[in-house]
Structure formats: structure tokens, C-alpha cells
Amino acid sequence: MVTSNPFSAMFGRSPFQPLLAHIVKVNDCAEALLPFFEATLKGDWQEAAEHRETITRLEHEADELKTELRLNLPNTLFLPVSRSDLLDLISVQDKIANKARDITGIMLGRKMQVPEELAQPMRDYMQTSVACVGQAREALEELKDLLESGFGRNVSDVMQKLIRELHVLEHQADDQQIAIRRQLFELEDRLPPVDVMFLYKIIDWVGELSDRAERVGSRLQIMTAN
């Protein structure tokens, strides 16, 4: 009797099919942070809770894809990429979704609203970090095509360009984080100390989205260099 395993069938084409499916979920998680943040600025906690539920669902679906990938990834692949590299990549990707969930959990649980002076800088900063995740997704799509085409020179050049652009975005997010931390420092004496502590935590966690997206790009770069 022949059994059908849709996930295993994905590997019949390429292990990058499930990796790509995973980072699509991760990217959706990150993008859902933007309307969530807007809801917090308005103080609309019902809407914020709805976006939080969406992010939690997407993060759970990403977890399921991660588990399936680990269980179904063959020990040997006829590709110039090691199994350990693929497992490492899925782990880095998954932490992005986890962090998006964590950000919404604290902000919703504490009904956190950033000070008015920080609203636009935080909006821009979050958009840059989310753009980093989108760029990592695009780079993975390019690597999948590159592997399936036998490392064509032109495709490789395009992917390297995407990774360079990802590095630029990550540096932009770093600069934005430094500026926001400086602004928050100037506001500290006007805010409750506990609120300040959690604001710094959220600022750091938004930065982790871009940091981990850059790590995805770095691992893709290593894969194509081998």
C-alpha cells in the first residue's frame, strides 16, 4: 500500500520548500506586529488582542512546520547543503516568530503605550525590523531557485545583492534603536520606572527581529559559499 505524506513530498522537490513555507509564516508573524502596534497607540486593546491572536496562531503554525521539517529531513540530501546547516537555519527563523509573539504578549498584558514623543520613531523602527524579515524571506526564495538551477552565476549575484540589502536594513534598525534609546533616556524622569524598564525591553526585542533576520541571511551566504 502506498502512503501519501504531503510534507515528505515537499522534500522530493527540495528541502527548501518546507524552509520557505516556514519563513513565510515567520514573515506573516512579523508583519502582523505593525497593525498590532498601531492598535496599542490608539489604546484599542480589543483590536490589539485580535492581532495578538493572529500572531499566536501563525507562530504555532510555524512551530508545527519546524517540527515536521526536523522529523522529515533526510540524513543525506543530494544538495550542496549540509543537514546541520538546514536545521540551524530553521531554528534561527523560528526565533523570529517567537519574539514577535513575546512582544505582543508583554505589550498587551501590560496595556503598554509608548510615549507620544516615541510613537513615530518606534513605528519607523518596527517597520525597518519587519522589512529585514521580509528581505530574509526573499533571500531564501532566491537560494531555493539558485540550488534548483545548479548555482547559476546570475542567480547567485542576485541573492548576494539581496543579502547586502538585508545588512543595510539591519544597520538602519541598529541606528534607529540607538536613537530611540537616547530619546527614552531623556524622558525617563517623566515616566514610571517600571514602564521605562519594559519600554527598553520592547525596544531590544524589536531589534532582535532584525538581528535574527540578518542571521538568516548570513547562514544563506555561508551555504552558497560552500
The confidence score (pLDDT) of residue 156 equals 66
Count: domains in the chain: 1
| Domain annotation covers residue 7 | no
The confidence score (pLDDT) of residue 8 equals 43
pLDDT digits (tens, 9 = 90+) for 93-112: 999 999 999 999 999 999 99
The DSSP line for the chain is -----HHHHHHHH-THHHHHHHHHHHHHHHHTHHHHHHHHHHT-HHHHHHHHHHHHHHHHHHHHHHHHHHHH--S--SSSS-HHHHHHHHHHHHHHHHHHHHHHHHHHHTT----HHHHHHHHHHHHHHHHHHHHHHHHHHHHHHHHHTTS-HHHHHHHHHHHHHHHHHHHHHHHHHHHHHHHHHHHGGGS-HHHHHHHHHHHHHHHHHHHHHHHHHHHHHHHHH-
| Domain annotation covers residue 2 | no
| Domain annotation covers residue 165 | yes
pTM listed for this prediction: 0.89
- Cα distance between residue 214 and residue 167, in whole Å: 6
| CATH number for the domain harbouring residue 168 | 1.20.58.220
- Cα distance between residue 101 and residue 15, in whole Å: 26
Q: How many residues appear in the chain? A: 226
The confidence score (pLDDT) of residue 7 equals 40
- Cα distance between residue 121 and residue 187, in whole Å: 14
Is the distance from CB of 106 to CB of 55 less than 8 angstroms? no
| Domain annotation covers residue 27 | yes
Query: At residue 58, what is the residue type?
Result: L
| Domain annotation covers residue 1 | no
pLDDT digits (tens, 9 = 90+) for 36-65: 999 999 999 999 999 999 999 999 999 999
| Domain annotation covers residue 218 | yes
| Domain annotation covers residue 6 | no
More confident of the two residues 172 and 150: 172
Q: Which domain holds residue 73?
A: 12-225
pLDDT digits (tens, 9 = 90+) for 102-139: 999 999 999 999 999 999 999 999 999 999 999 999 99
Indicate the burial class of 182 (C-beta count within 10 angstroms; 0-12, 13-18, 19 or more).
Answer: exposed
Confidence band (pLDDT; 50, 70, 90) for 2? very low
Q: Out of 13-27, 49-63, 166-180, 186-200, pick the least confident.
A: 13-27
| Domain annotation covers residue 179 | yes
What percent of the chain clears pLDDT 90, i.e. is strictly above it?
Answer: 67
Of 103, 136, 106, 143, which is closest to residue 214 (Cα–Cα)?
Answer: 136
In sequence order, what are the residues at sequence separation of 6 or more whose Cβ sits closer than 8 angstroms to the Cβ of residue 22?
62, 65, 66, 69, 90, 93, 94
More confident of the two residues 159 and 195: 195
